[in-house]
Amino acid sequence: MRRALLLLIAACGLAGCKSTPPPVPLEQLNAQQTQGHAVFQTHCAVCHYDRQSGSLHGPALIGVFKKPALPSGAPANEDRVTDTVLHGHGLMPALGNTMDPQDLSDLLAYLHTL
Ligand code: HEC
């Protein structure tokens, strides 16, 4: 039983699960993640959904770090997301001069809960 579960998890990791686990409920976020949620509301929510799928101006960020790749095909890791936020990407404007490093690390902590 345990072995079957492990195999399933391994298969998910390799093939990419169709359904990713849901975001951590807001009331269960720690202090930094809660702060990151506020940063998201201020800087990202006008263009991106965080807790539901579907595009607003940009793609939904639900499960962003649970998927192997970003919509552009770039790897879904902190470096790429940071780069996207600081320098923009395609139609997304650069936001580097609107956020300080603390905002950015709080934001990343929140994005990991999605
Ligand atoms: C003015 C609207 C706007 C704002 C504000 C905005 N984005 Fe975006 N974002 C976009 C658009 C449009 C795209 C799609 C870009 C493209 O592929 O041309 C995008 C794409 C992305 C992507 C996917 C990049 C890829 O490689 O596929 C990520 C991740 C992202 N945004 C994160 C964020 C985060 C985090 C914030 C807040 C700090 C944010 N965005 C704020 C419009 C916005």
Pocket test for ligand 1, best of 42, 48, 112 (most atoms within 8 A of CB): 48
CA of 16 to the centre of ligand 1 (A): 22
Residue 90: CB within 6 Å of ligand 1? yes
50/41 Cα distance (integer angstroms): 9
Q: Per residue in 34-77, pLDDT tens?
A: 999 999 999 999 999 999 999 999 999 999 999 999 999 999 99
Q: Per residue in 16-33, pLDDT tens?
A: 556 789 999 999 999 999
Domains of the chain, first to last:
22-111 (1.10.760.10)
CA neighbor of 80 nearest in space, from 58, 50, 71: 71
pLDDT category of residue 14 using cuts at 50, 70 and 90: low
- What's 19's DSSP letter? S
pTM metric for this prediction: 0.87
pLDDT, position 99: 93
Token readout for 25 is 């409920």
Distance of CA 24 to the CA centre of its chain: 12
Residue 73: CB within 6 Å of ligand 1? no
pLDDT, position 28: 98
- What's 96's DSSP letter? G
